[in-house]
Amino acid sequence: MFLKKSFFAQNAVEVAKALIGKTLVFGDFQGIITETEAYRGSDDPASHAYRGPTPRSQIMFGEPGFSYVYLIYGMYHCLNIVTEPVGSPSAVLIRGLQIGSLLLDGPGKLCRHLNLNLSHHQKDLTKAPSFCVVDGINVKPKHILATSRIGIKQGLDKLWRFKC
């Protein structure tokens, strides 16, 4: 059974941590989530939602458990999952996936391999078995590394990147 809306409705930092070791299912692919990052709202200058809702960031203010896919640097897609209750902007960026013996380290690489694009934006991951998150391996909190996030210039004080 896939993870419910209530799981994603928690604080983004907690969800990001809890997603490590879970299994992402996308079509015929499924892989263990190895790396995530949390992004929040007005308290997080690195977030797309920092300056309030815009056409692009409005998704982060919406229903938890929805996909947020966007194009970065004109060539790579990034997959996020919206978290926290409606009105509380936040999302978790999926940065790493282990598919069998293949390690996809990096949000762009991961989406390229899965053929994941903008057509997969704003999908409810708590409804369809073809695009969802299910239980995976149990990773002890001691084994989860927290560091500052990658590729940003603000909010580096926050240790919101989690890795196995």
Partner DNA sequence: CGCAAGATTATT
Partner DNA sequence: ATAATCTTGCGA
Binding-site string for DNA from residue 36 to residue 65, where x marks contact by CB under 7 A and - marks none: -x-x------xxxx-x--xxxx--x-----
Per the CB < 8 A criterion, the answer to whether 35 and 105 are in contact is yes
Residue 140 or residue 153: which is nearer to DNA going by CB? Answer: 153
Which residue type, as a one-letter code, is found at position 112? R
Q: What kind and span of H or E run contains 80?
A: strand 76-82
Residue 159 found at the interface with DNA (CB under 7 A) = no
The only residue of 5, 108, 144, 148 in contact with DNA, by rule CB under 7 A = 108
- DSSP-assigned letters across all residues of 93-114: EEEEEEETTEEEESHHHHHHHH
Binding site for DNA (CB under 7 A): 37, 39, 46-49, 51, 54-57, 60, 68, 70-76, 78, 80, 91, 93, 106-110, 149-153
